[in-house]
Amino acid sequence: MSGHLRLYRVADSASVLGATARGAAKSGLVRPLRPSATFRLTNGVRRWGTSPAVGFSLGSARHPDSIAVIDTDDDTLRAVSFVDIDHRCDTLALSLLDRGIGPGSQVGVLGRNSRGFLEAMVGVSRTGADVVFLNPASSADQISTIAYGQRLELILRDQEFADLVPTGIPSIAIDDKSGLPLLASLPNKGELPNLKRHSHHVILTSGTTSGDAKGASRSSIPLSAAAAILDAFPVHMNGTTLFAAPMFHSWGWMHHRLATLLDSTHVLVRHPEAERLLSLIDEHEVDTLVTTPVVLR
């Protein structure tokens, strides 16, 4: 029996290796880089591994001037490059570290798909703090239960959800000139730490809208697993992904991770009306739409 099990394990390993090789090749993930880009890429992976903190550092190393994010609902800063958003995430992380957020901290993020949401997700991750994604459909009481249960020290949220933040927990608006941009512009010192423990992302179950919510923790994605996923999905380097599914849920979160791995442009929309999505697909030459069954129908 043990011999059969070993054969199965060998067969499974061969299958995974095959999917990894095919996925890496089909997507264009493996290609030659300039020495300077290789150094920056290696430095980011060495510091953050494949955790969410690595984020836009991959695109900043490989394609610094390409567009990383198009926020279709932001008239102030509609599009940002990989090098710009990577710098913004670094600066935000340093500001949070100066203010006591770091390894062992728990930070909530409460918002719709936006550039500020992405900066909050990656910036907090670079401090080593854990990120807890809160559902905007939750009531104030449900948010309060989750916030105190998860021992949140800070909540980064959209302005429209200010009334959902429980008393006693500080919050900062991520879609407001007096929010994250101000925080990131304040004096900071030092360098980002080499983390001994990577940030974990806690994605809440559907209990956020009925009953008690339970969290599922996500952190690093093994490169072999990511490449195997690429073998199943027809995505490729330097594509354009339209996010009509919320990134505080696993489906949107996973595709954000794939998009950053492949240096894909994120096209973000807060309210995914079907007609507008069709228009955005044409306008931005979108090749991947991440959405939900309701919107798709």
Per residue in 90-114, pLDDT (tens digit) is 989 999 998 899 999 999 999 999 9
Q: What is the mean pLDDT of residues 249-260?
A: 91
Q: In the prediction, which pLDDT does 117 show?
A: 96
Res. 55: pLDDT tops 80? yes
Residue 125's nearest CA partner among 74, 52, 210 is 52
User: In residues, how long is the chain?
Assistant: 297
Q: In the prediction, which pLDDT does 80 show?
A: 95
Q: In the prediction, which pLDDT does 43 show?
A: 72
Cβ atoms < 10 Å from Cβ of 232 = 10
- Name the residue with higher pLDDT: 152 or 11: 152
How open is the CA angle 115-229-53, to the nearest 5 degrees?
40
Q: What is the mean pLDDT of residues 3-13?
A: 45
- Name the residue with higher pLDDT: 272 or 19: 272
- DSSP letter at 217 equals E
Residue carrying structure tokens 């004096």: 187
Each residue of 62-97: pLDDT tens digit?
Answer: 889 999 999 999 888 899 999 999 999 998 999 999
Instruction: Give the lowest-confidence range in 16-25, 195-204, 222-231, 250-259.
Output: 16-25
Q: Grade residue 40 by pLDDT with cuts at 50, 70 and 90.
A: low
Res. 154: pLDDT tops 80? yes
Q: In the prediction, which pLDDT does 13 show?
A: 47
- Name the residue with higher pLDDT: 70 or 23: 70
Which residues are CB-neighbours of 170 under 8 A, at least 6 positions away? 153, 154, 155
pTM of the model: 0.81
DSSP 3-state assignment of 157? strand
**CA 205 – CA 55 distance, rounded (Å):** 24
**CA 104 – CA 111 distance, rounded (Å):** 23
